[in-house]
A = this chain, B = another copy of it.
């Protein structure tokens, strides 16, 4: 038997297979291996192979675009969007178009080619989160941009083209549809209830515990009630917070620990799967509000999206979140400080 479940924020239905649920070993796929063979533009001494750095964290006072950095942010060499120019909105008969203006940056998380986000130290991940924040705060000054998405493609199956661990940032002149759906759903709930829907979700998940994976001082990690993908998990700040970039210092530290913890659990339970993560935060021009609650969504890539999903926007998920939460909760991992 299966069950329809509705995502409470966006209203999207998913189909959850509640019998013959797929366990971790039922998913056939390639482990993500760091091979380290061949030339890598993100390693030391190849700084000239990327566009000049936008920011870098350097401990020893080394010169820009030379080795000595611990983290580096550079423009994407093959950007989906370009930073210079104006939008030039225009029609073409009944169609609408505009120039591909935006920012597309790469956050190189470490000089160490052998590492992944799961094997970085919490302190190194914290630096990555600060880099996300620094870039958002800077790009927010550009009034052309309405939204910034931070995301990661880890492993070939998740769309990564370079294996050296990195995240990406895209600044957009429009608020994207998927985010708008969340914003509008949250606003509607707020109009009814005068409460943030994500705060209510956190409350209900904390009370019931069945989809809870872990909790620390500032964050919870849960398997969402209506996940699109098996083993999808969300990390949410426990206190209401509408924008990622407005988090407090200790929250970045707690998020780093939680992120490492979750990625280690995924690596253990699913044997180093490919995954994507995205940070969903408020649009730049309405970043402080009572209705939206920023969060990180982590989506392991275990299944193929096929005709049914493309045709309907429905997803068929073969693993109930109560099962995936149990596997992840019971994984034995230890996050140490370094």
Question: A: which residues have CB within 8 A of B?
Answer: 1-6, 8, 11-13, 15-18, 20, 78, 80-82, 92-100, 149, 151-153, 156-160, 168, 170, 172-174, 176-179, 181, 197, 200-201, 204, 208, 225-226, 276-280, 297, 299, 304-308, 310-314, 316
Q: A93-B204, A153-B306 are in contact. Are A13 and B174 (CB under 8 A)?
A: yes
Task: Evaluate contact between B149 and A311: CB separation under 8 angstroms.
Answer: yes
Residues from chain B with a CB closer than 8 A to the CB of A197 are: 94
Task: Evaluate contact between B307 and A226: CB separation under 8 angstroms.
Answer: no
Task: Evaluate contact between B3 and A100: CB separation under 8 angstroms.
Answer: yes
Residues from chain B with a CB closer than 8 A to the CB of A94 are: 8, 197, 200-201, 204
Task: Evaluate contact between B100 and A2: CB separation under 8 angstroms.
Answer: yes
Among A81, A279, A299, residue most surrounded by chain B Cβ atoms (within 10 Å)? A81
Can you identify 24 A-B contacts, CB atoms within 8 angstroms? A3-B99, A3-B100, A6-B97, A15-B80, A15-B100, A20-B78, A94-B197, A149-B311, A151-B306, A151-B307, A152-B307, A153-B307, A156-B304, A158-B307, A168-B307, A170-B308, A172-B314, A176-B313, A177-B312, A177-B314, A178-B312, A179-B313, A276-B307, A305-B305
Q: Which of B5, B96, B151, B178 contacts A95 (CB 8 A)?
A: B5
- Per the bound structure, the CA–CA distance linking A74 and B240 in Å amounts to 51
Residues from chain B with a CB closer than 8 A to the CB of A306 are: 151, 153, 158-160, 276
Task: Evaluate contact between A8 and B95: CB separation under 8 angstroms.
Answer: yes
Task: Evaluate contact between B177 and A2: CB separation under 8 angstroms.
Answer: no
